[in-house]
Amino acid sequence: MAKSDRSYEIGRHDRDWIESVAEPIHPVLAEIEDAALPERIPILALLASGRRRICEVGTAYGYSTLCMALAQSHGGSIVTIDPDRERTDIARGFWRKAGIAVGRITVVNAKALGAFASNDPVLAGPFDLVFIDALKHEYRAYFDALLPRLVAGALVVADNALWSGRVSGASPVRGDDDGTEELRRFDAFVLRDARFQAALLPVGDGMLVAAYRGG
Ligand SMILES: C[S@@+](CC[C@H](N)C(=O)[O-])C[C@H]1O[C@@H](n2cnc3c(N)ncnc32)[C@H](O)[C@@H]1O
């Protein structure tokens, strides 16, 4: 007998109900959503809660950075990397508006792999949460660069792990260089890496979450 499919597809009604009972999002996050239309990722706030030193790869307009800054522990800090200065200047305005203390968030305006290789002390870590959200074909290289900078128990979170269905093959790839193949290999590598306890959460565009066992 075929195994019954007990999965349930969450719909608009469920989302509306969750929003009706959950605490309203910070007004500056709502403002960034209006300006840049990123996906809402409340789960990121959950994962950042209590974390002290965070590294983000791919800042853009600072939505996730702000999400994590509002959730992380008192006295925590974030270093976020993005070569696009125009975007990060806009992000800084949002963080200021949200009342984030100057100095809590450090922006590195460079390509992440170059920045990691430069031995910039702000990227030395150790980090207890890293959020990977830049070039899909470079995810594995970001992961390798960040690994020696993690404390035991650190979380590695990677966004777009399902890449709109392209990773599983549910949707067609958009050309040879859309990062799908690299992302697929990255997901499989992390999910099978014995140094981590990992899961690919089917939320948003897929969020890979891996807890570093240390050692
Ligand atoms: C998907 S957006 C990041 C969204 C952001 N994390 C958020 O959730 O609000 C990807 C960002 O990666 C940046 N990016 C592109 N190449 C990069 C690189 N080599 N290193 C770091 N960031 C890069 C882009 O400029 C872009 O702003």
One DSSP character per residue, the chain reads -PPP-------HHHHHHHHHHSPPPPHHHHHHHHHH-PPP-HHHHHHHTT--EEEEE--TTSHHHHHHHHHSPTT-EEEEE-S-HHHHHHHHHHHHHTTPPTTSEEEE-S-HHHHHHTT-GGG---EEEEEE-S-GGGHHHHHHHHGGGEEEEEEEEEE-SSGGGTTTTSS--SSTTSSHHHHHHHHHHHHH-TTEEEEEE-STT-EEEEEE---
pLDDT for res 190: 95
Instruction: Give the confidence band of 126 by pLDDT, cuts at 50, 70, 90.
Output: very high
- Whether residue 101 is contained in a domain is answered as yes
Residue 165 pLDDT > 70, yes or no? yes
- Whether residue 163 is contained in a domain is answered as yes
pLDDT for res 1: 44
- Whether residue 78 is contained in a domain is answered as yes
- Whether residue 14 is contained in a domain is answered as no
Domain residue limits at 171? 24-212
Domain of 65: which CATH number? 3.40.50.150
- Whether residue 2 is contained in a domain is answered as no
Q: What separation in Å is there between the alpha carbon of 131 and the centre of ligand 1?
A: 11
pLDDT for res 41: 61
pLDDT for res 149: 97
The separation between the first and the last C-alpha atoms of the chain, rounded to the nearest angstrom, is 44
- Site to substitute for ligand 1 among 133, 142, 143, 183, most atoms within 8 A of C-beta: 133
Distance CA 5, CA 153 (A): 34
Q: Which residue has the higher pLDDT, 104 or 39?
A: 104
Residue 162 pLDDT > 60, yes or no? yes
- Whether residue 83 is contained in a domain is answered as yes
pLDDT for res 40: 56
pLDDT for res 78: 98
Q: What separation in Å is there between the alpha carbon of 20 and the centre of ligand 1?
A: 31
Site residues for ligand 1, CB cut-off 6 Å: 38, 57-58, 60-61, 63-64, 81-84, 87, 111-112, 133-135
- Whether residue 39 is contained in a domain is answered as yes
- Six token digits for residue 32: 């960034």
Prediction pTM value: 0.91
Ligand 1 nearest atom to the CA of residue 61, by list position: 9
pLDDT for res 37: 60
Please give the single-letter amino acid code of residue 193.
Answer: D
Instruction: Give the confidence band of 79 by pLDDT, cuts at 50, 70, 90.
Output: very high
- Whether residue 156 is contained in a domain is answered as yes
Ligand 1 nearest atom to the CA of residue 81, by list position: 21
Instruction: Give the confidence band of 175 by pLDDT, cuts at 50, 70, 90.
Output: confident
Residue 3 pLDDT > 80, yes or no? no
Count of domains observed in the chain: 1
Averaged pLDDT of the chain: 90
Range in 15-19, 192-196, 200-204, 206-210 with the lowest mean pLDDT: 15-19
Q: What separation in Å is there between the alpha carbon of 132 and the centre of ligand 1?
A: 9
Instruction: Give the confidence band of 65 by pLDDT, cuts at 50, 70, 90.
Output: very high
